[in-house]
Amino acid sequence: MPAPPVKVLRRRPAVRSVYVLRALCLLSFEYTSTGVLNELHWRSVCFLQDLRAGIGQGAAVNSAIQQAISLTDRLFEPLGDVVYCIKDVGGRYLAVNSAFVERVNLRSRDEVIGRTADELFAAPLVATYIEQDAEVFQTGSSITDRLERITNRDGSIGWYLASKHPIHDADGGTVVGLIGVSQDLHAPSTGDLKLSRLAEVVEHIHAHLDDPLRVDDLAGLAGLSVPQFDRRMRKVFRLSAKQFVMKCRIEEASRLLAESNQSIGEIALACGFSDQSAFTRQFKATTGLPPGEFRSQA
């Protein structure tokens, strides 16, 4: 259940810092207790909007807010599998954590601050980030639990679960920035899968990507109810069952585009999409490129 909105205390910055401190302690406790980032996003966006309310005031940002920003940075700093950033409406990075710095192969946060995504990431990745940012800036609404690809520490491309939230000015009417948080979706070990009774399900999914793969059927294969199955998938993969199936479809489609001579229509059907148009929309939304362009760059 979402936390209630937080009232911005504009005339009492010291009190506001106390509220931010309490919020950050709550966020830290919840993250370390559950390990599930998407349980934090409603609380984090409310408090971070408050703490960043002065962003539209330029040099007038008071020391209490600056201190709160520093505390926020420290909250995300030790979370090595979480990539965190704050951007202004121009797409310039205002704050990032070390995990972000590592994934763009730089040495310090100072080398990132003030730059934009197209200066740091490969073009196919940037297209997705820009589309997501534009959606947040134009609608003033959050986007949550989006599958996206980000560069890993070793230079490979990995899968992440991303959420982005608008930051409003002190009056709450104008979007002046956004906060983005992306969690690395590490592949679980074989032992983890066996213990969680999901190994057979994962094998079934990979072997039947051209089938509908309904969640209730997958839950039955695992011997679990649908709610139990979805909770188990989120615990092991940090994805819902539907998100995991889509991730597998896109991964296989990417492989076929790069390694096979199959037509895009054939690949769409082989990966469980109803038609080429539906496949193209989903593939572009996830990778930032339409299938044909992805194939030409593979």
**Who contacts 146 (Cβ-Cβ below 8 Å, separation ≥6)?**
132, 161, 162, 163
Q: Which two tokens stand for residue 67?
A: 């201190």
The whole-angstrom separation of Cα 205 and Cα 171 is 49
Which pLDDT does position 279 carry in this prediction?
A: 97
Pick 128 or 63 by higher pLDDT: 128
On whether the CB atoms of residues 186 and 80 are closer than 8 A, the answer is no
151 has which bridge partners? 157
Domain residue spans of the chain: 13-184, 190-297
Q: CB–CB of 53/10 below 8 Å?
A: yes
69 and 48 Cβ atoms separated by less than 8 Å: no
The model's pLDDT over 46-57, given as tens digits with 9 standing for 90+, comes to 444 444 444 444
Q: What integer pLDDT is reported at residue 86 of this predicted model?
A: 87
| Verdict on whether the full-model pTM lies above 0.85 | no
178-198 pLDDT, tens digit per residue, is 889 998 887 777 777 766 778
Question: Same fold for the domain at 13-184 and the one at 190-297?
Answer: no
Q: 190-297 has which fold?
A: Arc Repressor Mutant, subunit A (1.10.10)
Encode pLDDT of 212-261 as tens digits. 999 999 999 999 999 999 999 998 888 999 999 999 999 999 999 999 99
Helix axis angle for 63-76 and 13-34, nearest 10°, is 10
The share of the chain scoring above pLDDT 70, in percent, equals 75
pLDDT over 70 at 43, yes or no: no
Task: Determine the CATH number of domain 13-184.
Answer: 3.30.450.20
Summary mean pLDDT of the chain: 78
Compute CA distances 215 → 118, 180, 225, 228, 289, whole Å: 38, 29, 10, 11, 28
